[in-house]
Structure 1
């Protein structure tokens, strides 16, 4: 592959995971030297596309090179093109100069991605990468806080009409887990009884299994699974 990059174009990925209790985001730690002092900043995984690489392949490459994960859900959601996005902070701009990058204007295509807990735990992260609770994110480089916030806003819209939450849940899950992940992604409280009623009546693709939790201190809950075939039929029926 031609490794020559397009210097004025980049791809940044907001990679989310659900550990059973919290939504986490993957960040890279960067140490930036400026005027003899070292600053610790964080950034979303990203890179420039190669000259002979389409944007989607760039996003796939970034996620694989920095996590070791393949074939995970991702979606392009926005383009970030503010004229000053790289030069708002002297420390941030030093990161560019220290890496020998000469372009002062870079347009970024944003992708958000979901990875399941099991995949997350078995990833081969690069040393600079770490999973951070979404509510603990701070000190991001350039406009990456804006990119992350835009991703979160888009996800709130998308999960209302697409079954994206199941990209974060394990193959077998409880209704409590489903309820929890909707609350975390939507960032609001949902009445538990109303939510359960909505799932059972309006989501026939959430299929009840014969299995229950084991080894729990409370009454074991039933397991459910997302059935894509039923979902596809459900969508066709709704739109026809």
Structure 2
């Protein structure tokens, strides 16, 4: 099989493997049969029949067409801890894993971006407060694995539908500067009636600090006289999330 034929085979992904002469078939690398079997399992039984590393391995077939992808997939899960953490890891750390490299690392970040965009698109046109689990899923996918703190705001209209989703500030590993007047100014520019505040804790622990609580109270006090409601402040971390409303912190 020449290089062009092999590349076409990999681009087909789930398609039938082209027939090859018996001699060439015997010369195929050992992992080709494994790839065919894994594709077949996915085609017949779906994702539920595959473990996380196997799904990752299956995806890597396209990015790494002429090498074994089983060990790199297992190494990624072992190093970062879970499939979610693999997709949330920085590109430069992904590329350092043996067998991955720059191209496969970039493809993994593309998958992460597509997942975030899918979750975000599911919020458009919906009443946000009645789609709370989707809000949490989106915020977790977008922010939980960031290595620096981000402060994000979801701006809502009078029907509590999403107008805009913006990262207002990016800080350090444990601090993000937040300016309540800038938040209110932006809400007025967008004609937003309400906001949901979101930020992440790169440490993984979403427990609010005293500074988080005081900052939230200041934003509420600044926004309320201007008719802007703060529905909630959510902190996301690798281990979960915390809702200020749920904890009755304002």
TM-score, reference length from structure 1:
0.30
Greater RCO structure (CA 8 Å; 6+ sep)? 1
TM-score, reference length from structure 2:
0.29
Greater gyration radius = 2
Structure with the largest fraction of helix: 2
Structure with the largest fraction of strand: 1
